């Protein structure tokens, strides 16, 4: 039996399901290996633009819109070029799971110029959480293969109004539950820096496409780091805005929809265009005039007590050195939050995801989910939610309120908080999301008490969490956080650093990001391939 929940918990569940977990789309060609084009397109067919490959590769989304207006290139030409790049690169990346080339070409040709900031620019949207009517909508669940969306979400409607032309959907893990992009339905997304490694998750397909300069901006969502983790592991910029300020998002933590890019000015313009006007008062819209007067705290300590790599620590220390060279005050100080307790609460809140997944599966198949058809964690959350006592609602709300209070006080002294985005470089695709000893236990989780179920879920997730323990705090607190690609390891893999600010201070992060970009601190794949 599914326990009834109060209004607070209901909204938490909706927030979790709206993006972290349960909305999306797919075009499936084969079960374990998804490709939108079976054979790579010869390079001669790629270079078909009136601008050079280098111009396209280096152009921001704003640059491309201006080129269209200046008559240097047309929107249909850009769409053709981007889709040709997908067909060339996707057999190696497995980043794009659906392609709508014909529809996109018609939309590009028919789009009037009404002053949109991204007029005619091709974009890839995440297959999860951002519904597009008529396109696939499987949530990454194998039993929902072939399901399509019956409506377009408000978020997608808004991004279209900004002038973007949607050319396809990107890869993600089942329900967006893991920090790596791989699933039974779509297979693994391969890191463009080294295909033996994963892109990160859950917005992994998008960042892989972005890192390879297929398009200048890709969308995603973030309930525990899903925009920032792949940004760190694939070397792009990832912003998780303040909770509830983006159109379509709930005001209760922890899920937000936004985007990844390689240009801060693009993210600023996109942020301005995607604001929910009903919640605009939550934002401090005027950018700070002098960031140097704000002390920055930094930490390299894992909030859950796990190991942080020397590379991640070095990335933060290099950032501290740069900031001090620019006149900033940077102080070593950990956030005042019990990380282990935070994650136990976070996992407790996640159990309704399993119940919702089962409901959708049953609606389509007439049967409850089967262990063999879903991930071990989807199964575990479904079973644990059956035993979740209603009395936990008040405790969860209390814990979340405490985190909010602690971080609000912390930011009064330290407006910005710097950490590694991830504790190490990208995981290998051969590395399982959950260790085998735990998958066996998760299969039999229904036999345990609820308390032991949540403990097992924590233990099973720890293998992945240890790689990315820094991102979840911003989701629980509702604060904005920005991952910047500032470091490349000796092995040639990128790492990001993360800045977190008080709720509503998104502009502070964007201004800081602009400083890093202007001073040449950001490291992208394009730059390394050109060397």
Mean pLDDT of 421-435: 98
- How far apart CA 211 and CA 251 sit, in angstroms, is 31
Residue 47 confidence (pLDDT): 61
pLDDT in tens, 278-292: 999 999 999 898 999
202 included as an active-site residue: yes
Residue 28 confidence (pLDDT): 32
Catalytic one of 87, 88, 126, 269: 126
Mean pLDDT of 49-67: 96
The answer to whether residue 1 scores a pLDDT higher than 50 is no
Q: How many domains does the chain contain in total?
A: 1
Query: pTM of the entire structure?
Result: 0.93
Residue 469 confidence (pLDDT): 99
The one-character DSSP state at 482 is E
226 included as an active-site residue: yes
- How far apart CA 457 and CA 393 sit, in angstroms, is 18
User: Is 402 domain-assigned?
Assistant: no
Residue 39 confidence (pLDDT): 42
- How far apart CA 51 and CA 98 sit, in angstroms, is 27
- In 3D space, the residue among 519, 485, 530 whose CA is nearest the CA of residue 262 turns out to be 485
Structure tokens at 335: 């956030």
pLDDT in tens, 81-115: 999 999 999 999 999 999 999 999 999 999 999 99
Structure tokens at 16: 């979790």
Residue 419 confidence (pLDDT): 99
The answer to whether residue 477 scores a pLDDT higher than 90 is yes
Burial 444-461 (b: 16+ CB within 10 A, else e): ebeebebeebbebbbbbb
Can you spell out the DSSP letters for 105-148?
Answer: HHHHHH---S--TTTT-EEEEESBS---TTSB--TT-GGGTT-B
User: Is 525 domain-assigned?
Assistant: yes
The answer to whether residue 413 scores a pLDDT higher than 70 is yes
SS3 of 484, please? Answer: strand
CATH number for 262: 3.90.1300.10
- How far apart CA 126 and CA 172 sit, in angstroms, is 7
User: Is 367 domain-assigned?
Assistant: no
- How far apart CA 144 and CA 17 sit, in angstroms, is 16
User: Is 444 domain-assigned?
Assistant: no
φ, ψ of residue 222 in degrees (nearest 5): -150, 115
126 included as an active-site residue: yes
The answer to whether residue 26 scores a pLDDT higher than 50 is no
User: Is 97 domain-assigned?
Assistant: yes
Residue 45 confidence (pLDDT): 55
The answer to whether residue 480 scores a pLDDT higher than 80 is yes
- In 3D space, the residue among 378, 361, 359 whose CA is nearest the CA of residue 147 turns out to be 361
φ, ψ of residue 194 in degrees (nearest 5): -165, 110
Average pLDDT, the chain: 92
Cis peptide before 202 (omega within 30 of 0): yes
pLDDT in tens, 179-233: 999 999 999 999 999 999 999 999 999 999 999 999 999 999 999 999 999 999 9
Question: Which residues does 512 contact at the CB level (< 8 Å), separation at least 6?
Answer: 291, 416, 482, 499
The answer to whether residue 14 scores a pLDDT higher than 60 is no
* Residue found under tokens 């659906």: 98
User: Is 356 domain-assigned?
Assistant: no
Of 244-258, 360-374, 401-415, 422-436, where does mean pLDDT reach its minimum? Answer: 244-258
How would residue 15 be classed by pLDDT, with cut points 50, 70 and 90? very low
User: Is 462 domain-assigned?
Assistant: no
Catalytic one of 98, 203, 209, 226: 226
Catalytic one of 62, 183, 202, 375: 202
Question: Which residues does 146 contact at the CB level (< 8 Å), separation at least 6?
Answer: 28, 136, 138
- In 3D space, the residue among 161, 166, 56 whose CA is nearest the CA of residue 101 turns out to be 166
The answer to whether residue 513 scores a pLDDT higher than 50 is yes
Question: Which residues does 511 contact at the CB level (< 8 Å), separation at least 6?
Answer: 287, 288, 291
The answer to whether residue 25 scores a pLDDT higher than 50 is no
- How far apart CA 260 and CA 251 sit, in angstroms, is 21
Can you spell out the DSSP letters for 4-62?
Answer: P--HHHHHHHHHIIIIIIS-B----SSSSS--S-SSPPPGGGT--SSS-HHHHHH--HH
- In 3D space, the residue among 239, 231, 283 whose CA is nearest the CA of residue 512 turns out to be 239
User: Is 134 domain-assigned?
Assistant: yes
Mean pLDDT of 297-325: 99
Angle value at C-alpha 203, between 179 and 278, nearest 5 degrees:
115
Domain, as residue range, for 519: 10-31+42-336+412-425+467-529
Q: How many helices (H) and strands (E) does the chain have?
A: 19, 13
- How far apart CA 516 and CA 496 sit, in angstroms, is 12
């Amino acid at each position: 039996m599914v326990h009834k929940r109060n209004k607070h918990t209901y909204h938490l569940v909706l927030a979790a399901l709206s993006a972290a977990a349960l909305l999306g789309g797919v075009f499936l060609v084969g079960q374990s290996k998804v490709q939108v084009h079976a054979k790579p397109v010869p390079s001669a067919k790629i270079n078909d633009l009136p601008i050079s490959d280098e111009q396209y590769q280096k152009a921001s989304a704003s640059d491309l819109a201006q080129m269209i207006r200046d008559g240097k290139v047309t929107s249909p030409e850009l769409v053709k070029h981007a889709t040709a790049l997908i067909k060339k690169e996707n057999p190696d990346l497995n980043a794009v799971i659906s392609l709508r080339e014909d529809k996109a070409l018609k939309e590009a040709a028919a789009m009037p110029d009404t002053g949109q900031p991204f007029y005619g620019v091709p974009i890839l949207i995440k297959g999860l959480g951002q519904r597009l009517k008529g396109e696939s909508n499987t949530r990454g669940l194998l039993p929902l293969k072939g399901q399509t969306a019956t409506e377009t979400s408000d978020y997608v409607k808004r991004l279209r109004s900004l002038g973007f032309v949607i050319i396809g959907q990107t890869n993600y893990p089942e329900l967006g539950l893991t920090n790596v992009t791989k699933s039974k339905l779509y297979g693994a997304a391969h890191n463009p820096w080294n295909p033996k490694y994963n892109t990160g998750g859950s917005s992994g397909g998008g960042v892989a496409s972005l890192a390879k300069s297929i398009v200048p901006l890709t969308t995603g969502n973030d309930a525990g780091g899903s925009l920032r983790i792949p940004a760190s592991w694939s070397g792009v910029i990832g912003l998780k805005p303040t909770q509830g300020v983006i159109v379509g998002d709930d005001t209760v933590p922890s899920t937000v929809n936004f985007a990844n890019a390689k240009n801060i000015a693009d993210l600023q313009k996109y942020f301005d265009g995607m604001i929910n006007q009903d919640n605009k008062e939550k934002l401090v819209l005027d950018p700070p005039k002098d960031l140097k007067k704000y002390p920055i705290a930094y930490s390299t300590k894992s909030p859950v007590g796990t190991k942080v790599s020397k590379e991640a620590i070095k990335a933060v220390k290099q950032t501290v050195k740069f900031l001090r060279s620019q006149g900033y005050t940077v102080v070593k100080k950990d956030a005042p939050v019990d990380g282990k307790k935070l994650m136990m609460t976070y996992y407790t809140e996640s159990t309704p995801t399993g119940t919702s997944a089962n409901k959708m599966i049953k609606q389509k198949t007439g049967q409850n989910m089967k262990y063999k058809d879903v991930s071990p964690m989807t199964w575990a959350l479904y079973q644990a939610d059956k035993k979740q006592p209603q009395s936990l609602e008040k405790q969860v709300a209390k814990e979340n309120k405490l985190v909010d209070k602690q971080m609000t006080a912390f930011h009064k002294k330290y407006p910005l908080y710097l950490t590694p985005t991830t504790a190490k470089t990208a995981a290998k695709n051969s590395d399982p999301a959950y260790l085998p000893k735990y998958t066996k236990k998760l299969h039999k989780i229904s036999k345990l008490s609820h308390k032991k179920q949540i403990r097992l879920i924590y233990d099973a997730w720890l293998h992945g969490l240890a790689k990315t323990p820094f991102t979840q705090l911003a989701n629980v607190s509702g604060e904005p956080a920005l991952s910047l690609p500032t470091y490349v390891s000796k092995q040639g893999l990128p790492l990001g650093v993360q800045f977190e600010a008080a709720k509503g201070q998104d502009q502070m992060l964007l201004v800081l990001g602009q400083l890093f970009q202007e001073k040449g601190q950001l490291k992208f794949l394009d730059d390394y391939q050109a060397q």
